[in-house]
Amino acid sequence: MSETSFENDRRQSNSMNVEYHQHHTAIEHPRDHSNLGRILQPALESFSGLSTISRDTLQKNLQPIMNALERLDAQLLLDLKSVKVGEGPRLNDSQSCAAIYDDIQPPMNHHSVVNTSSCVRYVHISEIPDQYSIGIFVFAPYGRIPLHDHPDMCVLSRVLYGDLERRSLDLARLDEDVMDHSKSGRRNWMSNFFGRENNTTQQALPKGTKRAFKNHVDHLKAPQVTALFPYEGNLHEFVAGPNGAAVLDVLLPPYDNTQNRDCTFYEIRETDPGRKPSGKEPCYVVPTGQPEDFHCISGRYGDLGEDDHQDMDFSV
Ligand SMILES: [Fe+2]
């Protein structure tokens, strides 16, 4: 990708309903994000309709980007100040840094949001519609992003500093509960389960409800890189640790409500409250609209981000 193509980068409103001002940010700044951007376009030229591509193929195509994210120097990217280990969020096992949540402009006291744990900051870096979007989510201590999805998308996340608890779910494929039935002549246990639900619970569930499988709640920490796919891990929620966190996300392709790639928030509806959790536990996810107590407010950090700060409306 040439520098010129970055200059042509136009951040347009997407399904997050963020209207970015069309002005140049410091994408040409000789720091890691420009190098990261260069690797994205060749990897993405064939990316459309990701749900039809196997996870293995997606993983293979995304691996160069994941490798680039692993090499990313978070301290250089964010000009992070070193502090004694344990006195700030971790960059890795042997280094800590000063958190930047309060340095994002304008600061949160310019907003009416009182509880910072319900407010995540977003620093936009770059977007090319239908190809990719890069941005950094900055969490206050115990900051939370509620359960949401990424339809027909892959997302690569690099924890720049700090740690987070992640709850994620796989989406059931449409044919997941009938394939084995047609092959074997009998319904497997999951088919039986969902078949029973189809006749009872699902009929009472709101429009937009989807079948899903819970993954074990896990813990992410810097400098970890993680990926989600159109089905595997496609829904997730995060709660930052006691020192907050910053996560660089690469969305492939970006949210776009004109392409049926809206961001929807969900709550989990248990299918069988008496069932013992065992990983891959089936459930339903029910759309909720954006939780009223959640705010994601875009801002500027140094030469990154936008002057156009606003509460980003994720809801559809
Ligand atoms: Fe997400």
Q: Alpha-carbon distance 15 to 241, whole Å?
A: 28
The pLDDT assigned to 280 comes to: 77
CA of 114 to the centre of ligand 1 (A): 23
CA of 295 to the centre of ligand 1 (A): 14
The pLDDT assigned to 238 comes to: 97
CA of 177 to the centre of ligand 1 (A): 26
* Under 8 Å between Cβ of 91 and 78: no
Length of the chain: 316
The pLDDT assigned to 108 comes to: 79
In angstroms, the Cα distances linking 94 to 61, 71, 140 are: 32, 17, 22
* Under 8 Å between Cβ of 144 and 184: no
CA of 149 to the centre of ligand 1 (A): 6
CA of 184 to the centre of ligand 1 (A): 37
CA of 174 to the centre of ligand 1 (A): 22
* Under 8 Å between Cβ of 227 and 155: yes
Q: What is the DSSP letter of 80?
A: P
CA of 167 to the centre of ligand 1 (A): 11
Question: What's the pLDDT tens digit per position in 162-182?
Answer: 999 999 999 998 755 433 333
The pLDDT assigned to 43 comes to: 53
Instruction: Identify the H or E element spanning 287.
Output: strand 281-287
What's the predicted TM-score (pTM) here?
0.78
Can you read off the two tokens belonging to residue 68? 């680039």
CA of 189 to the centre of ligand 1 (A): 31
Nearest Cα to 97, choosing from 112, 116, 79, 111?
79
Q: Alpha-carbon distance 141 to 108, whole Å?
A: 14
Residues of the chain with pLDDT under 70: 1-48, 109-114, 116-117, 175-203, 272-279, 307-316
3-state class (DSSP) for residue 285? strand
CA of 90 to the centre of ligand 1 (A): 22
The pLDDT assigned to 10 comes to: 30
Nearest Cα to 139, choosing from 94, 66, 89, 82?
89
CA of 160 to the centre of ligand 1 (A): 16
The pLDDT assigned to 113 comes to: 57
CATH entry, 3-162+217-256+292-305, from 3.40.605.10, 2.60.120.10, 3.30.70.1020, 1.10.20.10? 2.60.120.10
CA of 51 to the centre of ligand 1 (A): 17
The pLDDT assigned to 174 comes to: 73
- Helix (DSSP H) and strand (DSSP E) numbers for the chain: 6, 16
Going from N- to C-terminal start, the domains of the chain cover: 3-162+217-256+292-305
CA of 186 to the centre of ligand 1 (A): 37
